[in-house]
């Protein structure tokens, strides 16, 4: 039964993708610098905060020179790029700290949130999808499907606010935001677990419809296909038919979905982290963008782009493995 | 009667029990809520977050920074008192030299002793142009600072600057830590160490700052052992979390603070302020730059109605940056709401009503735009009230919302609804707002106000330490501002706070516009004492 994995082909595909990623990343970072430069936000004002409102012009000009934001766009981008390649990501002006520190401190919390949400979406989506796909047109299918279409249209931040209003304010059962209780200054497992519930659920539920609809379709179609009918005719149990035959072929489209949902997950996290004051990198991205914090913004964009490219690679690899006809040609 | 009393008590007990259970479910680890014992921890909700915690970059410049101390500090009455200095400075050389003797035996929270080196390091670093400190201008008068031995520091000024001592509430950073790192980005900017009553235990940006008491504080260990400041930008969320027991105190706008009036366990604190709202009347606009128009607007505006309707009574009419209850306020410069008087001024100056009721002079229509910061409800309300008052006098003002990016390039000719105010010396606000050579310098003198008499009085006021001469100078400024009001001052706004009545000691200071960490009834949290159990259930 066990089949040898095509390591060589997979490695070649990964290599090709890595090469293609270089120009993409370069273009993306330059675009970030250009867009930030064109935005009406002033990095010096953002840096000075309220003190900037009483500062003298000389003081502000000096700040501009210190921050290096008075130099031409291309120079700044090139300097950022060359020092980033040597491992120095620069200093974040809004966080007043090295960019590497900011990311190091926050990445873990974002990954925790995103992975939990992704697992919630996949697990719930698959389960509901299989149940609905089994009896298309049934009560469960109709309820969940219409809910899924509604959710597809609902923005994540709106779901977040709704969840805060209901669970935190009306019922008072779950905390409204943050990583720990306001009064607590140590990060403990049970506190984080309780504070994770709402944001992870909201983010997961906002991703759920796609998984649900794909699985429902896949399983439903597979149940009508010859192999399943054959299996049924051979007298196999319903459970075996479902998990062994229908689910296996029904899950195939979902593998592509895993990869292609990564960008959506990142934008979703951006909103959810902001709504729930979750101290992750997505919340930092919002701050970096509105304060025109070039080094932080560029590093975070590279990170997001890399995550998207990796997601695509992963889903293509998985697809190639699951369906040898597709292969690893990229 | 008895039956009703019993029923009431039963209901109250039941409600209390429910509240306790609710608190227990939502927040098992915290002491917030209805717990009976003395509370040695406090959680407060604030709306602003500091950009940095490094005194070198501007944190704690107005004193009261919890983590740090200044050489001097403001007391409850806003009088200066010694902190890291052992007494008030010795002023010599005609106000050009300030000598401070330092307190003995003070240590930083890491155990290292505090010496004159730290003071010199702090001030020299702030003056260094390479330091990204946006408030450096406040120390403009300072020429040099040097240490004499371990316990004496001498400041020399470029010119006699009367309020200089008030600038030395500036927080002092430890040289042995901060000097070894990049001043702008080093770890000290987010993990500070100071001599102050509290030690920072965590700063989750955008969420909260947590402090624990500095048990070896030179002025005695604070009885409130744990202090948390939650950063909650949204007023409604802050009010809800205060009601839910998650917070012990919060700053609230008047309408939300009113919701806690009947809550016997909480107390509302009203802090009077220097926080003004004003309309800039640009000198370089042919309508707003006209003295008759300025004087008419000054009379046509109904300040009391703004206080009553917009601020719901929590504020005072303003006639200049100096509030009416300040000892520096020039008696008799109040302006009554006088629409007829305003119309008379305009008539006499040749501004005649046109067919649409808007006045015209030499073909110029009495109209100009007024910008306010978009999203700022308070400024919007003030702007709209101003527009409607002006209309009654025949002046057509168009209120427009915009961000500072939109407003700033237009400030030379367009009116802006501005806010500001720093308590203490009358020099602070008036110099920056009215000095003609600061016109268009960043956000200083936004109206490009230009009045030679005012310029002379402002210089005279800051260059002498003689109280009578200073009073005369600032009286002149305020009377000139009445004759040629280049700004229409509208209101001084009170800041309202609601706090659990669980401690002895909260009080309020006179607060500035920018009410960050230093303001609020918790300005002196280090001297709060928990009330005895039971005392809270009155």
Q: How far is CA B242 from the centre of its chain?
A: 23
A256 touches B at CB < 8 Å: no
Residue-wise pLDDT tens digits, B349-375 = 999 999 999 999 999 999 999 999 988
pLDDT confidence tier of residue B171, bands split at 50, 70 and 90: very high
Are B488 and B386 in contact, with CB atoms under 8 Å apart? yes
Mean pLDDT for B276-295 is 96
Q: What percent of chain A has pLDDT over 90?
A: 2
Shortest alpha-carbon distance between residue B252 and chain A (Å): 18
Percent above pLDDT 70 for chain B? 91
Report, as an integer, the average pLDDT of A124-145. Answer: 86
> What is the average pLDDT across A118-122?
89
Q: Is the pLDDT of residue A62 over 70?
A: yes
Average pLDDT, chain B: 88
Least confident span in A51-60, B385-394, B401-410, B451-460: A51-60
**Hey, which residues does B278 pair with through a beta bridge?**
B418, B489
User: Which residues are within 8 A (CB) of B45 and not within 5 positions of it... i.e. 6 or more apart?
Assistant: B229, B230, B231, B232, B238, B241, B242, B247, B249, B250, B251
Q: Which two tokens stand for residue B195?
A: 């001599």
Give residue-wise pLDDT tens across range B296-313. Answer: 999 999 999 999 999 999
Q: Average pLDDT of A104-108? A: 87
CB atoms within 10 A of CB A319: 19
Contact B51 A177 (CB under 8 A): no
pLDDT band at B515 (very low <50, low <70, confident <90, very high): low
pLDDT of residue B52: 87
**Per-residue pLDDT tens over the stretch A178-213:** 777 776 767 778 888 888 888 999 999 888 888 888
**Is it the case that residue A132 has pLDDT exceeding 90?**
no
* Confidence (pLDDT) at A192: 84
- CB contacts of B21 in chain A (<8 Å) are none
Q: Do B247 and A182 touch (CB under 8 A)?
A: yes
| Global ipTM | 0.71
Handedness of CA B322, B327, B329, B334 (dihedral sign): positive
Flag whether pLDDT at B496 surpasses 50: yes
Q: Which residue of A has its CA nearest to B515?
A: A50
- At B37, the pLDDT band (50, 70, 90 cuts) reads low
Q: Which of A45, A51, A172 sits opposite B58 (nearest CB)?
A: A51
For residue B244, give how far its alpha carbon lies from the nearest alpha carbon of chain A (Å).
8
Closest-CA residue in chain A for B48?
A: A50
Give me the residue label for tokens 């219409």: A146
Confidence of residue A2 (pLDDT cuts 50, 70, 90): low
Kindly determine whether residue B204 and residue A178, on different chains, have CB atoms separated by under 8 Å: yes
Note the pLDDT of residue B98.
97
Q: For residue B429, what are its two tokens?
A: 């606000």
Q: What is the pLDDT of residue B244?
A: 79
Measure A293 CA to nearest chain B CA, in Å: 13
Q: Given CB atoms, is A52 within the 8 Å cutoff of chain B?
A: yes
Residue entry with tokens 């200083």? B444
CB spacing of B206 vs A279 below 8 angstroms: yes
Distance CA B202, CA A214 (A): 44
Calpha distance B299→B9 (Å, rounded): 55
User: Which residue in B has a C-alpha nearest to residue A67's C-alpha?
Assistant: B132
pLDDT at A87 over 90: no
Q: Looking at the complex, does the CB of residue A67 fall below 8 Å from at least one CB of chain B?
A: yes
- Indicate the SS3 state at residue B191: coil
- Taking contacts as CB-CB distances below 8 angstroms, the residues of chain A near B241 are 176, 182
Which chain A residue is nearest to residue B30, measuring alpha carbons? A183
Q: How confident is the model at residue B255 (pLDDT cuts 50, 70, 90)?
A: confident
Q: Is the pLDDT of residue B23 over 90?
A: no
pLDDT in tens, A286-320: 888 878 888 888 888 888 888 888 888 888 887 77
Q: Distance between CA atoms of B155 and B114, rounded to whole angstroms?
A: 18
The C-alpha of A119 sits at a distance from chain B's nearest C-alpha, in angstroms, of 26
| Residue A1 pLDDT | 43
User: Mean pLDDT over all residues of chain A?
Assistant: 83
The count of CB pairs under 8 A between chains A and B is 148
Q: What is the pLDDT of residues B212-236, one digit of tens each?
A: 999 999 999 999 999 999 988 878 7
Nearest CA in chain B to A173: B26
Q: Are A43 and A291 in contact (CB under 8 A)?
A: yes
Least confident of A186-195, B51-60, B314-323: A186-195
Judge whether residue B19 has pLDDT over 70: no
Of A66-75, A139-148, B127-136, B149-158, highest mean pLDDT: B149-158
Q: Å from A281 to nearest chain B CA?
A: 12
Measured between CA atoms, how close is B209 to chain A, in angstroms? 9
Q: Is the pLDDT of residue B21 over 70?
A: no
- Pick the range with the lowest mean pLDDT from A64-78, B254-268, B363-377: A64-78
Is the predicted pLDDT of residue B20 greater than 50, yes or no? no
**Cβ distance of B54 and A96 shorter than 8 Å:** yes
pLDDT score, position B538: 39
pLDDT at A329: 64
In the 3-class helix/strand/coil scheme, how is B213-267 assigned residue by residue? ECCCCCCCCCCCCEEEEEECCCHHHHHHHHHCCCCCEEEECHHHHHHHCCCCCEE
- Confirm if A184 and A178 have CB atoms less than 8 A apart: no
What is the C-alpha to C-alpha distance for residues B447 and B413, in angstroms, rounded to an integer?
A: 8
pLDDT at A311: 84
Nearest CB partner across the interface for A97, out of B190, B441, B444: B190
DSSP type of residue B332: T
Lowest mean pLDDT among B30-44, B380-394, B406-420, B437-451: B30-44
pLDDT at B174: 96
Residue B302: predicted pLDDT? 97
Which of B140, B185, B444 is closest, CB to CB, to A98?
B185
State the pLDDT confidence band at B519, using cuts at 50, 70 and 90.
confident
Q: Which of A75-79, A246-250, B133-137, B524-528 has the lowest mean pLDDT?
A: A246-250
- Predicted confidence at residue A32, as pLDDT, reads 86
**Helix residue ranges, H only, B393-509:** 404-407, 426-434, 452-462, 467-483
- Looking at the predicted structure, is the pLDDT value of residue B28 above 60? no
The label of the residue with tokens 């304060």 reads A291
For position A159, what pLDDT does the model report?
87
Q: In the predicted model, is pLDDT for residue B346 greater than 90?
A: yes
Cβ-based contacts of B374 with chain A (< 8 Å): none
Asked whether the predicted pLDDT for residue A130 surpasses 80, the reply is: yes
């Amino acid at each position: 039964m066990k089949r040898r994995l095509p390591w060589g082909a997979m490695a070649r595909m990964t290599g090709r993708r890595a090469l293609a990623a270089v120009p993409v990343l370069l273009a993306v970072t330059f675009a970030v610098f250009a867009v930030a430069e064109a935005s009406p936000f002033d990095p010096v004002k953002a840096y000075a905060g309220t003190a900037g409102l009483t500062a003298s012009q000389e003081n502000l000009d000096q700040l501009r020179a210190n921050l290096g934001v008075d130099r031409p766009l291309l120079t700044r981008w090139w300097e950022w790029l060359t020092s980033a390649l040597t491992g120095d990501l620069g200093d974040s002006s809004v966080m007043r700290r090295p960019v590497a520190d900011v990311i190091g401190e926050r990445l873990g919390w974002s990954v925790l949130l995103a992975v939990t949400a992704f697992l919630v979406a996949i697990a719930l989506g698959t389960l509901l999808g299989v149940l609905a796909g089994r009896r298309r047109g049934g009560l469960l299918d109709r309820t969940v499907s219409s809910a899924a279409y509604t959710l597809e249209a609902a923005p994540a931040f709106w779901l977040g606010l709704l969840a805060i209003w209901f669970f935190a304010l009306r019922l008072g059962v779950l905390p409204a935001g943050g990583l720990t209780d306001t009064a607590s200054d140590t990060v403990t497992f049970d506190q984080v677990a309780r504070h994770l519930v709402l944001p992870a659920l909201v983010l997961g539920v906002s991703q759920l419809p796609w998984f649900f609809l794909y699985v429902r379709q896949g399983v439903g179609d597979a149940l009508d296909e010859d192999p399943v009918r054959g299996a049924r005719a051979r007298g196999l149990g319903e459970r075996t038919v479902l998990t062994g035959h229908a689910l296996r072929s029904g899950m195939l489209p979902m593998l592509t979905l895993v990869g292609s949902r990564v960008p959506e997950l990142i934008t979703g996290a951006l909103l959810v982290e902001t709504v729930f004051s979750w101290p992750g990198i997505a919340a930092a991205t919002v701050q970096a963008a509105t304060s025109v914090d070039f080094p932080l913004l560029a590093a975070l964009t590279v990170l997001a782009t890399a995550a998207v490219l990796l997601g695509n690679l992963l889903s293509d690899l998985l697809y190639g493995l699951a369906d040898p006809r597709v292969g690893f040609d990229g | 009667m008895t039956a009703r009393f019993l029923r009431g008590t039963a209901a109250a007990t039941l409600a209390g029990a429910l509240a306790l259970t609710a608190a227990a479910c939502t927040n098992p680890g915290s002491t917030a809520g209805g717990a009976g014992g003395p509370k040695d921890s406090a959680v407060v909700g604030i709306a602003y977050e500091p950009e940095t915690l490094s005194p070198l970059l501007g944190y704690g410049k107005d004193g009261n920074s919890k983590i740090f101390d200044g050489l001097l500090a403001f007391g409850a009455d806003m009088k200066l008192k010694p902190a890291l200095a052992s007494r008030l400075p010795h002023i010599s050389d005609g106000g050009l030299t300030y000598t401070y003797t330092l307190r003995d035996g003070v240590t930083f929270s890491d155990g290292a002793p505090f010496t004159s080196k730290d003071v010199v390091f702090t001030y020299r670093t702030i003056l260094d142009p390479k330091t990204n400190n946006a408030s450096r201008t406040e120390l403009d008068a300072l020429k040099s600072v040097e240490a004499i031995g371990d316990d004496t520091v001498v400041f020399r000024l470029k010119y006699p600057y009367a309020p200089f001592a008030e600038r030395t509430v500036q927080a002092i950073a430890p040289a042995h830590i901060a000097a070894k790192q990049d001043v702008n980005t080093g770890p000290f900017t987010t993990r500070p160490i100071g001599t102050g009553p509290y030690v920072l235990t965590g700063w989750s940006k955008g969420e909260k700052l947590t402090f624990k008491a500095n048990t070896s504080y030179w002025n005695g260990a604070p009885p409130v052992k744990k202090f948390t400041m939650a950063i909650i930008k949204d007023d409604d969320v802050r009010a809800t979390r205060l009601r839910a027991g998650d917070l012990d105190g919060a700053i609230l706008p008047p309408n939300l603070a009113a919701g806690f009036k009947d809550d016997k366990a909480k107390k509302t604190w009203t802090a009077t302020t220097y926080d003004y709202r004003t309309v800039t009347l640009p000198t370089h606009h042919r309508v707003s730059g006209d003295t008759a128009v300025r004087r008419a607007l000054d009379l046509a505006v109904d300040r009391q109605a703004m206080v009553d309707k917009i601020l719901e009574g929590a504020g005072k009419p303003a006639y200049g940056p100096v509030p009416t209850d300040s000892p520096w306020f020039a008696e008799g410069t109040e302006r009554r709401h006088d629409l007829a008087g305003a119309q008379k001024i305009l008539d006499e100056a040749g501004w005649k009503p046109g067919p649409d009721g808007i006045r015209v002079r030499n073909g110029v229509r009495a109209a100009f735009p007024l910008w306010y910061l978009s999203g700022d409800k308070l400024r919007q309300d003030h702007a709209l009230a101003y527009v409607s008052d002006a209309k009654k006098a025949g002046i057509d003002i168009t209120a427009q919302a915009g961000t500072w990016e939109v407003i700033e390039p237009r400030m030379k000719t367009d009116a802006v609804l501005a806010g500001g105010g720093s308590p203490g010396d009358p020099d602070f606000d008036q110099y920056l707002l009215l000095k003609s050579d600061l016109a268009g310098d960043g956000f200083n003198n936004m109206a490009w106000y230009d009045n030679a008499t005012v310029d002379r009085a402002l210089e005279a006021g800051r260059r002498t330490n003689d109280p009578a001469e200073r009073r005369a100078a600032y009286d002149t400024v305020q009377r000139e501002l009445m004759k040629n009001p280049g700004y229409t001052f509208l209101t001084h706004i009170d800041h309202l706070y609601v706090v659990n009545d669980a401690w002895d000691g909260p009080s309020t200071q006179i607060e500035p516009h920018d009410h960050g960490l230093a303001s609020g009834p918790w300005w002196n949290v280090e001297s709060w004492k928990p009330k005895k159990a039971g005392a809270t259930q009155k």
